[in-house]
């Protein structure tokens, strides 16, 4: 058995690493991930304490401000909705080992595409909701898909590193949206578009408060259904369809996939486009359900990057993403009030670092053994 | 719109990219892809600026930036070299961590006011050379001159010294290097550290020389990612890295300057009369990075050049064929 360089000599005892011969069980893998998150929260707490904050108060505040009552829980779900869609976007690409880091830009372009239906305007403002919403969703997915297609095509045809090209497109997307909201669609010189008509907005729970008073003030919007439907759809694609099998095969073993006759060029382009479309739908849901106008700051809030972490934490399982997204929605929602403002971002980063490090435990078994045993 | 001024400023702002790109060239030559350059630059820029405020000495600031960014890089080194994890995801995580920590520790730093910057000076005699003198040797920061020295040194080191040979061996064929008694793990840790220090130096060059101050994430504005792209364009060669970095620096300056004059080539300057077109100018460096990547990738296919053979592959002792 291969001895790792990690092996440390201790007095009488030492740490021994054995490569696992079997796949770890689901329970083991879940425990390891949870352990990684706990370690990350402890590390994050140390940094908070170093800069003079109180980590316990910060974490308690996050829990209360995100799950304390039905109102904030609803807000947490609102924050989780875009993350579900960007995390699904990352999942399908990562399954094929395509590192689409551009979900942020695809999300922004999706928001722009959906807004263009209202602002260009493609539909007259008096149009009914059943025309607005599907068309906006299609436009959002279309622009997102285009923004995913570009790095996908460059990767497939010229072997251009998709990490960097998709990331560069994020910056281009921000400038593109800025051009429209500062110039063409600016409302009275402000850096935002005019408000969308009611028919172009996704319905919120609070819209039904006149019939069901309990729903008053609840901001959860119909974009959540997009997220859940997309998760189920993607779960089916990945685990139950022939295409999903091909995608997983390319991801696990591109050589085997090639010999099996899987078209890698076609799949690279298609998967990047699907990935972009999912992120674009997230952008549509955010402008139509939450912001209800085109504005840079709320749609350029890092949902694309959070999606990467969520996808990884959910082990690229589309249904697990819904649960993990809600936890991260809580972190983002509550984190807005925590000072210094970088803390949520830092904790997200530390969680990802600990998660990747913990993957080691999925491949190796760590045992403490007596030196004399061998 | 004086071309000399644009090139002069371009060399200065290209120095930022040069340091980060050289660092990444060294790390990747040893077989470790580190996508955390943006995070390491940010933490370097923050450390340099805050240390200079505290001590009043920019040299200590630069030193702090290099040490802090180097230490940050060791997180990535541990995860990918010892724990053998995926280098892409770990690098991304490093960028998030670096950005997050810089934002937390840099809170309030943007209102800190002015600090003493790295000194600028002209080189006697060399500054008198027509065209080249004003561009390269007049009133540049000391960091720019360090960049001139570092480029040929890095090239010579990689291609013509014994440690450089070991570096290449570890990146191309680690098991053979191991068999020859070269410590693959230790060398990879070391070059990731050097890469981190240089990225930190790049960050310090921003906050203490090229664009002084701390502007949270906008301080780097994606230059770390551009550096990662430049490595591919440079085909892991320091000389090409320098050419690419200075060209990008000049491009950034050109974009700023092109919005000034009333006329361009005898026509009304559209960027002067419609300020919103400036957003399209802002896209250019990023679009250009993608174009440069296409060129670099095609060229490396044609010439059968390419990345170090073991780039991105963890080295596991005792496994065959690795």
Provide the pLDDT for residue B112: 74
pLDDT along chain A (374 residues), means of 10: 48 74 79 90 87 84 86 92 97 94 96 95 90 96 97 93 92 94 86 91 87 85 95 95 94 91 94 97 96 89 91 92 93 79 83 89 79 56
- Nearest residue, CB atoms, B185 vs list A5, A348, A349: A5
Domain count, chain B: 1
Whether A107 is in a domain gets the answer yes
Whether B178 is in a domain gets the answer yes
Whether B316 is in a domain gets the answer no
| Continuous H helices in chain A | 26-50, 55-67, 70-95, 103-119, 129-158, 162-179, 223-240, 242-252, 254-259, 264-286, 296-299, 303-313, 318-335, 343-363
- Nearest residue, CB atoms, B105 vs list A51, A101, A359: A51
Residue A332's CATH number: 1.10.3470
Note down the domain range covering A247: 63-339
Q: Do A179 and B104 touch (CB under 8 A)?
A: no
- What region does B150 belong to: left with phi over 0, alpha with psi -120 to 50, or beta? alpha
Residues from chain B that touch A184, judged by Cβ atoms under 8 A, are 276
Whether B322 is in a domain gets the answer no
Whether A41 is in a domain gets the answer no
Residue B111's CATH number: 1.10.3470
- Nearest residue, CB atoms, A356 vs list B85, B229, B277: B85
Whether A143 is in a domain gets the answer yes
CB under 8 A, 24+ apart: contacts of B160-168: B167/B26, B167/B29, B167/B30, B167/B191, B168/B29, B168/B308
Provide the pLDDT for residue A2: 46
Q: Which helix (H) or strand (E) element contains residue B199?
A: helix B184-205
Q: Do B79 and A101 touch (CB under 8 A)?
A: no
- Angle among Cα A324, A115, A133 to the nearest 5 degrees reads 70
Test mutation, B50, B100, B278, chain A, max A CBs within 10 A: B100
Residues from chain B that touch A308, judged by Cβ atoms under 8 A, are 89, 92
Closest approach of B107 to chain A, Cα-based (Å)? 6
* Residue B205, C-beta contacts closer than 8 angstroms, at least 6 positions apart: B15, B16, B19, B118, B141, B143
Instruction: List all residues of chain A from 135 to 164 with a beta carbon under 8 Å from chain B.
Output: 154, 158-161, 163-164
Whether A164 is in a domain gets the answer yes
Provide the pLDDT for residue A1: 40
Whether A38 is in a domain gets the answer no
Residue ranges, chain B, pLDDT below 70? 303-306, 319-322
d(CA A362, CA A95) in angstroms, rounded, equals 18
- Nearest residue, CB atoms, B103 vs list A99, A346, A356: A346
DSSP designation for B209: I
CA proximity to B72, closest of B28, B106, B31, B102: B102
Whether A15 is in a domain gets the answer no
Test mutation, A161, A166, A310, A344, chain B, max B CBs within 10 A: A161
Whether B36 is in a domain gets the answer yes
Instruction: Yes or no: say if A165 and A155 are a contact pair by the CB < 8 Å rule.
Output: yes
Q: What is the pLDDT of residues B235-293, one digit of tens each?
A: 899 999 999 999 999 998 888 888 877 777 777 788 877 778 889 998 999 999 999 88
Note down the domain range covering B20: 3-302
Whether A27 is in a domain gets the answer no
Provide the pLDDT for residue A244: 94
Provide the pLDDT for residue B319: 62
Interface predicted TM-score of the whole assembly (ipTM), two decimals: 0.88
Domain count, chain A: 1
């Amino acid at each position: 058995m291969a001895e790792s360089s990690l092996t440390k000599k201790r007095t009488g005892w030492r740490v021994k690493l054995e490569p696992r011969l079997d796949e770890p069980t689901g329970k083991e893998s879940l425990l390891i991930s949870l352990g990684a998150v706990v370690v990350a929260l402890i590390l994050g707490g140390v940094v908070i304490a170093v800069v003079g904050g109180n980590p316990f108060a910060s974490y308690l505040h996050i829990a209360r401000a995100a799950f304390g009552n039905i109102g904030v829980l609803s807000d947490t779900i609102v924050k989780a909705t875009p993350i579900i869609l960007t995390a699904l976007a990352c999942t399908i690409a990562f399954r094929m080992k395509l590192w689409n880091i551009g979900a942020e830009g695809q999300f922004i372009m999706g928001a722009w595409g959906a807004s263009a239906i209202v602002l260009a305007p493609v539909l007259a403002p008096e149009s009914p909701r059943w025309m607005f919403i599907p068309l906006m969703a299609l436009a959002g997915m279309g622009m997102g898909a285009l923004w995913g297609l570009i790095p996908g095509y460059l990767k497939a045809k010229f072997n251009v590193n998709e990490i960097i090209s998709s990331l560069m497109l994020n910056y281009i997307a921000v400038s593109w949206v800025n051009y429209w909201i500062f110039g063409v669609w600016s409302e009275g010189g402000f850096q935002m578009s005019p408000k969308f008509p009611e028919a172009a907005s996704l319905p919120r729970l609070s819209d039904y408060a006149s019939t069901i008073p309990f729903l008053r003030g609840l901001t959860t919007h119909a974009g959540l259904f997009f997220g859940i439907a997309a998760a189920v759809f993607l779960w089916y694609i990945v685990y139950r369809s022939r295409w999903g099998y091909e995608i997983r095969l390319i991801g696990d073993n591109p050589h085997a996939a090639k010999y099996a006759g899987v078209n890698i060029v076609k799949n690279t382009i298609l998967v990047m486009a699907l990935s972009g479309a999912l992120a674009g739908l997230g952008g549509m849901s955010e402008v139509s359900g939450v912001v209800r106008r085109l504005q840079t700051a709320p749609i350029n809030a890092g949902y694309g990057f959070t999606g990467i972490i969520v996808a990884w934490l959910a082990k690229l399982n589309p249904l697990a993403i819904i649960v993990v997204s809600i936890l991260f929605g809580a972190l983002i929602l509550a984190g807005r009030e925590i000072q210094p403002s970088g803390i949520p971002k830092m904790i997200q980063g530390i969680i990802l670092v600990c998660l990747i490090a913990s993957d080691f435990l999925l491949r190796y078994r760590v045992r403490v053994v007596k030196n004399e045993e061998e | 719109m004086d071309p000399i001024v644009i090139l002069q400023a371009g060399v200065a702002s290209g120095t930022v990219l040069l340091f980060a790109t050289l660092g990444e060239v060294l790390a990747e030559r040893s077989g470790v892809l580190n996508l955390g350059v943006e995070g390491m630059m940010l933490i370097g820029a923050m450390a340099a600026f805050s240390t200079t405020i505290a001590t009043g000495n920019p040299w200590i600031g630069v030193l702090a930036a290099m040490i802090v960014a180097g230490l940050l890089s060791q997180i990535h080194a541990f995860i990918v070299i010892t724990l053998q994890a995926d280098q892409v995801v770990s690098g991304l995580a490093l960028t998030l961590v670096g950005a997050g920590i810089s934002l937390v520790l840099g809170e309030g730093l943007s209102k800190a006011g002015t600090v003493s910057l790295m000194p600028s000076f002209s080189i006697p005699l060399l500054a008198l050379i027509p065209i080249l003198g004003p561009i390269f040797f007049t009133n540049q920061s000391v960091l720019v001159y360090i960049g001139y020295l570092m480029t040929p040194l890095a090239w010579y080191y990689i291609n013509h010294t014994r440690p450089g040979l070991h570096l290449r061996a570890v990146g191309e064929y680690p098991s053979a290097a191991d068999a020859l008694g070269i410590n693959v793990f230790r060398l990879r840790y070391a070059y990731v550290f050097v890469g981190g220090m240089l990225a930190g130096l790049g960050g310090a060059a921003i906050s203490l020389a090229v664009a002084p101050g701390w502007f949270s994430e906008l301080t780097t504005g994606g230059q770390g990612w551009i550096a990662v792209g430049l490595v591919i364009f440079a085909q892991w060669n320091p000389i090409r890295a320098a050419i690419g970095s200075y060209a990008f620096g000049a491009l950034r300056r050109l974009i700023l300057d092109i919005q000034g004059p009333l006329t361009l080539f005898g026509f009304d300057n559209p960027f002067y009369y419609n300020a919103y077109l400036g957003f399209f100018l802002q896209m250019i460096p990023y679009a250009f990075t993608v174009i440069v990547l296409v060129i670099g990738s095609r060229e490396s296919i044609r010439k059968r050049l390419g990345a170090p053979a073991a780039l991105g592959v963890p080295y596991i002792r005792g496994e065959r064929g690795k």
